[in-house]
Amino acid sequence: MTKVIAVCNQKGGVGKTTTAVNLSAYLSQMGRRVLFIDLDPQANGTTGLGINPNSLNKTVYHLLAYNILPYHWFGYKSQQLK
């Protein structure tokens, strides 16, 4: 069964990114399939996973700001997106 875990808190510097990155890494190590969605404009979670956010030209920002869906990017239409 799919579970959604949101790590969010209005206060800064309380360990949101650290929790999200490590929780994702350990769940993955335990064999769970993990989709890490970094909604932080600082993109520290992305960096923490070893990805340079400046190297990406398609990000969740485009999804939210321009309503561009993944199947527009990748040229296929997923049944689950309907």
Which residue shows structure tokens 């769940």? 27
The torsion region of residue 37 among left (phi > 0), alpha (psi -120 to 50) and beta comes to beta
Pick from 4, 6, 10, 17: which binds ligand ATP (CB under 6 A)? 17
Q: 23 vs 72, which CB is nearer to ligand ATP?
A: 23
Pick from 23, 36, 44, 60: which binds Mg ion (CB under 5 A)? 44
Q: 1 vs 8, which CB is nearer to Mg ion?
A: 8
Instruction: Say whether 55 sits in a helix, a strand or coil.
Output: helix
Site residues (CB under 6 A) for ligand ATP? 12-18, 40, 42, 44
